[in-house]
Amino acid sequence: MVNLGFSIGDLHFKNPVMTASGTFGYGPEFDDFLDVSRLGGIVVKGTTMEPREGNLYPRMAETPSGMLNAVGLQNKGIDYFETNLYPCISEYDTNIIVNINGSYVADYVQLAERINSLEKIPAIELNISCPNVKMGGMAFGTNLDSAREVTKAVRSVYSKKLIVKLSPNVTNIADFARVVEEEGADSISLINTLLGMSVDVVKMRPALSTITGGLSGPAIKPVALRMVWQVAKAVRIPVIGMGGIMTTSDALEFLLAGASAVQIGTASFIDPQASVKILEGIEKYLIEKGFSDIKDIVGFINRTC
């Protein structure tokens, strides 16, 4: 038997495969396809203080080996989450992580305080990288001072595990990683979507109502992998890698490059069972390669070259 577990501080994950925020709903959407409790964790849809309707339709465009989305954090707000969603999803035997979002630092702080008191939520993912909202979101994740400020503020009120999710739309991702580590983040997840665009040449207009949107899927994998590699070298806290992971081999690339765990995003749209298949694949790989612990391969390429 191989050990697949990893930890963020004293928070244990039974395996390194989680699902990415905004691509797995709250979990029940996938109950028909897999046993959600088998996963290392699930990160639920981006949540805000107030309910949000998100952006206008069309919010999606397909691109070569990827997709653009401009959902814009549609969600029913923290009250609804607490009353209606939390009771049912806290039954899952896995780490449930809430992805939190705001327009102002105060929004993030309020949300973090609220979620701090939810017993079955052991961690939050601080989303400072949503490219699809007019205020907040990526603005925090593309400015070092803002990234520092919001991380610090949330850290001061949130006592459980704080994961900060970085934006890839920056010149130097390692700088952001170091800043949030300094301010007390327990882990870093990346990447969120790359800012992209698509034009409908028949209709001669942008494909998305918001013109630009977030690019995800295999197309972004090489960029995501490079950034995860850079960040893993820059910080000591565990790094959670994502961006275009569709197969076991993709997930392994991230682990070998230095990620302690991975999140599966867009892949779940194409194959709702992708996450568990990848989990099984990683275990098989370890056995075949003769490793007994997932830690043996994390950052492997950095050891040899």
Ligand X SMILES: Cc1cc2nc3c(=O)[nH]c(=O)nc-3n(C[C@H](O)[C@H](O)[C@H](O)COP(=O)(O)O)c2cc1C
CB of 209 to ligand X, least distance (A): 14
Interaction of residue 243 with ligand X, rule CB under 6 A: yes
Q: Looking at beta carbons only, is 218 or 238 nearer to another protein?
A: 218
Tell me which of ligand X, another protein, a second copy, none is bound by residue 291, counting a contact when its beta carbon lies within the kind-specific cut-off of 5 to 8 angstroms. none
Interaction of residue 284 with a second copy, rule CB under 8 A: no
Interaction of residue 270 with a second copy, rule CB under 8 A: no
Q: Report how far residue 14's alpha carbon sits from residue 299's, in angstroms, rounded to the nearest whole number.
A: 19
Residues 264-303 as x/- pattern, contact with ligand X by CB under 6 A? -xxx------------------------------------
Q: Which backbone phi and psi does 123 adopt, to 5 degrees?
A: -160, 155
Q: Tell me which residues are annotated as active site.
A: 130
Interaction of residue 242 with a second copy, rule CB under 8 A: no
Amino acid identity for residue 33 in this structure? F
Interaction of residue 285 with another protein, rule CB under 8 A: no
Interaction of residue 99 with another protein, rule CB under 8 A: no
Residues 17-36 as x/- pattern, contact with another protein by CB under 8 A? -----xxxx---xx-xx---
Q: Looking at beta carbons only, is 208 or 232 nearer to another protein?
A: 208
Interaction of residue 293 with another protein, rule CB under 8 A: no
CB of 128 to another protein, least distance (A): 20
Interaction of residue 23 with ligand X, rule CB under 6 A: yes
100 Rama sector, left if φ>0, alpha if ψ -120 to 50, beta otherwise: beta
Residues 43-72 as x/- pattern, contact with a second copy by CB under 8 A? --------------------xxxx-x----
Q: Which backbone phi and psi does 275 adopt, to 5 degrees?
A: -60, -50
CB of 244 to a second copy, least distance (A): 7
Contact 295, 258 (CB under 8 A): no
From 5-13, 177-185, 202-210, 240-248, span contacting ligand X (CB under 6 A): 240-248
From 23-31, 150-158, 260-268, 297-305, span contacting a second copy (CB under 8 A): 297-305
Residues 120-159 as x/- pattern, contact with ligand X by CB under 6 A? -------x--x-----------------------------
Instruction: Report, in angstroms and rounded to the nearest whole number, the Rg of the chain calculated over CA atoms.
Output: 18
Q: Looking at beta carbons only, is 150 or 242 nearer to ligand X?
A: 242
Burial of 112 (0-12, 13-18, 19+ CB in 10 A): buried
Residues that bind another protein (CB under 8 A): 22-25, 29-30, 32-33, 45, 53-54, 57-67, 69, 71, 74, 217-218, 266, 268-273
